[in-house]
Chain A
Amino acid sequence: MLKINNLHASVEDKSILKGINLEVKAGEVHAIMGPNGSGKSTLASVIAGKEEYEVTDGNILLYGEDIEELAAEERAHKGVFLSFQYPVEIPGVSVTNFIKTAINANRKAKGLEDMPAKDMLKMIREKSELLEIDRKFLSRSLNQGFSGGEKKRNEIFQMAMLEPKLAILDETDSGLDIDALRIVANGVNKLKSKDNAVILITHYQRLLDYIKPDFVHVLYNGRIVKSGTAALAHELEEKGYDWIKEEVNA
């Protein structure tokens, strides 16, 4: 599904990604871990198409197609979804209206008519139940005055509604209490299928207790320096990142 080859990227001439190689197949869950400043969020943003980041070398293939020239919305239309670490507040636009706009924009890009209101309501009801979101929440302005947990839950709600092929969850676990974490993880698990894939970006092993990764990668200094199975995450939890840094710097 996703194949990243020797990806180099920089922002304002500062090189951040320095040769990433990663392959994600349908049905897989990959966790990307690493210390602060290692380039995890940059990787997420580059895949999703943030314009401020410049790809200086290598490429990103989605279903074999190089997506470098595609705008963020075109990548979304092809099934890429990014759950933001810091979702943006949009006063005056309700959660419901926002998701309607997004869904219909995606349908339009595929040459489909707007989703009938009845189907939309039904889908909103189902997905909000899945994430234990109540109705009042849906009529609030998008992310405005939301708690950290509400913001993250809302991100996963959008993911549930948009049904992406490739979901990248950037630090979705940060700022969540244990109940919110359970709800969010449960939602992600229910949305997983053999046709889609998830990349979890996280500092901590905690989220991985709830969403089991097939692969764990350690990103350090703009490169994936170690890959393994879920066991690697436990090892990191126990020993921290210093031993990795030492290994790399040796």
Chain B
Amino acid sequence: MDLKEKLVSSFLAFENHADLDGPIHDIRTEAIKTFETEGFPSKKEEAWKYTSLNSILKHDYSVFPKQENAIEYSDVKKYFINDIDTYNIVFIDGKFASHLSQTTHDGLDVCLMSAALTKPKYRLIIENYFNKVATKDSITSLNTAFTQEGAYIHIPKNTLVNKPIQIIHFSTGSEVALMQQPRNLIVVDENSHVQIIERHQSLTDNPVLTNSVTEIFGNKRAIVDYYKIQNDNVNASLIDSTFVNQKRESHISVHTFSFGGKLTRNNLNFYQNGEHMDSTLNGITIIGDKQHVDHNTLVHHIEPNCESHQDYKGIFNDSATGVFNGKVVVNKEAQKTNAFQSNNNILLSDKATINSKPQLEIFADDVKCSHGCTIGQLDDSAMFYLRSRGIPEKEAKALLMYAFANNVLESVKIPELKKRINKLIATKLGVNIGFDL
């Protein structure tokens, strides 16, 4: 039985297990139909032209792990931003791990999707927001069909959340191969501010496939900074679909740091429903071996006087492959839009590949839209300059790569996270720079 058949046939059992009368029963049923009809995306689809899922779909994934697996905090501490106080929502093989988590209902809700889907007090939020911005494409529908667990975050109005929220998914490798489908819902009300860090981490080399969907709603004047750390093991793959719905005067940023994993696909979609807001989509990708990272972004400018900024940097070594497919749509009504997009890449090896494709669809006539894409190698004169100061070749390369990625790093607003990312980059480049940038 292939993975699609396995998933479709296990749906009934899954729904029987869940609350049949729940408000999302219809949504789930609709979603599995979509997936059943369309199946996994293939390279025949324009949006998946450069990313084939074939190699990761062949494993016999366990879709509902039975065992409860415990991990000691001391064994996984290093995957947390652990030098500051944070809320934590932690999952082990898809199941909530209360002993590693710090949730709250005190003035804000930082808790579980499973609770939000079943408890009456969350019903209104679920009805108003769940699956409202997520698209109905087949891979998102697959996640929707199996929606059960994930992070539920609701920040009521006028709330400045005083510590970042970490969402961490561990997979223990107790299954030969594991598929997980976390579903996150984040609702930030008027004048509120929250910072969120998300990470998927497999603890062994057993294959893991994560099909994650996150919906983010930023209401009037909300500020949301969302950071994704993707530095997983060699056999862990991630399809991350994140949908952002913004209201007027909100500021929402998503940073994606892709340093590891076998195959990573990021579908990041912003919808601007209101005026005077900005959206920021930043990314740093540093990969090697045969790793593959695909950034597929969409910013939809619907109303006037808004901005969007996209800045993606990629460094590709060995036979690594990268994709950047950045789409900006400016509606006819969205006058005075400022939309900027840049994608800069360095190829360190002759075998590395990047496919970069900007797509601008502009229907308004009074807008400023720019896009730029570069693909190059490290600058020889810059290398000579550094080496002539006594800095060895490897360190000199690393310094230039830091410099290359710097403006994205600079925009990380949590200092401890920035430090961590610096460290991850240094490890990735195999150097010890000896100072924090």
Binding site for B on A (CB under 8 A): 45, 48-52, 71-73, 75-77, 80-82, 84, 86-88, 90-93, 97-98, 100-102, 104-106, 109, 114, 158, 162
Contacts and interface: CB of A to CB of B under 8 A. Distances in A.
A77 B384 contact: no
Given A75-B388, A162-B389, 14 more contacts: A49-B387, A51-B380, A72-B384, A73-B391, A76-B390, A82-B388, A87-B385, A92-B402, A93-B402, A93-B403, A100-B435, A104-B434, A105-B389, A105-B391
B437 interface: yes
Contacts of A92: 402-403, 406-407, 409-410, 437
Contacts, number: 88
Contact of B403 (A86, A91, A109, A158): A91
A102 B390 contact: yes
A88 B437 contact: no
Residue among B381, B390, B393, B409 with max Cβ neighbours from chain A (10 Å) = B390
A158 to B, nearest CB: 7
B299 to A, nearest CB: 25
20 contacts: A45-B384, A48-B384, A49-B387, A51-B380, A52-B380, A72-B388, A73-B387, A73-B392, A76-B387, A81-B388, A90-B382, A92-B402, A92-B410, A93-B399, A93-B406, A98-B389, A100-B434, A101-B391, A101-B395, A105-B391
Given A93-B437, A104-B434, A105-B392, A71 B387 contact: yes
Contact of B391 (A48, A86, A102): A102
A247 to B, nearest CB: 35
Contacts of A49: 384, 387-388
Nearest to B381: A88
Contacts of B433: 101
A106 B385 CA distance: 15
A105 B388 contact: no
A90 B390 contact: no
Contacts of B46: none
B289 to A, nearest CB: 26
Contacts of B409: 92
B400 interface: yes
Contacts of B406: 91-93
B72 interface: no
A73 B403 contact: no
Nearest to A103: B390
B435 A97 contact: yes
A48 B388 contact: yes
Contacts of B388: 48-49, 72-73, 75-76, 80-82, 84
A87 B385 CA distance: 7
A104 B392 CA distance: 11
Query: Dominant SS at the B interface?
Result: helix
B379 interface: yes
A2 to B, nearest CB: 16
Contacts of B403: 90-93
A80 B384 CA distance: 13
A106 B390 contact: yes
B392 to A, nearest CB: 5
A51 B435 CA distance: 28
The 7 closest A-B pairs by CB, nearest first: A92-B406, A76-B390, A72-B387, A102-B389, A106-B390, A88-B385, A88-B382
Nearest to A158: B389
Contacts of A90: 382, 386, 399-400, 403
Contacts of A93: 399, 402-403, 406, 437
B430 to A, nearest CB: 15
Contacts of A88: 379, 381-382, 385-386
Contacts of A81: 388
Contacts of B380: 51-52
Residue among A80, A88, A162 with max Cβ neighbours from chain B (10 Å) = A88
Nearest to B395: A105
Contacts of B395: 101, 105
Contacts of A97: 435, 437
Contacts of B393: 71, 73
B437 A76 contact: no
B434 to A, nearest CB: 6
A139 B380 CA distance: 25
A102 B393 CA distance: 12
Interface in B348-400: 379-382, 384-393, 395-396, 399-400
A88 B383 CA distance: 9
Contacts of B381: 86, 88
Interface string B175-189: 000000000000000
A52 B381 CA distance: 10
A171 to B, nearest CB: 15
A113 to B, nearest CB: 12
Contacts of B435: 97, 100-101
A87 B382 CA distance: 8
Contacts of B399: 90, 93, 98, 101
A105 B409 CA distance: 25
B110 to A, nearest CB: 33
Given A90-B400, A92-B409, A76 B389 contact: yes
A225 B311 CA distance: 53
A109 to B, nearest CB: 7
A8 B239 CA distance: 57
A105 B407 contact: no
A87 B392 CA distance: 18
A93 B73 CA distance: 35
A91 B393 CA distance: 18
Contacts of B387: 49, 71-73, 76
B408 to A, nearest CB: 10
A101 B434 contact: yes
Contacts of B382: 88, 90
Residue among B392, B393, B402, B407 with max Cβ neighbours from chain A (10 Å) = B392
B437 A51 contact: no
Given A97-B437, A114-B434, A109 B390 contact: yes
Contacts of A84: 385, 388
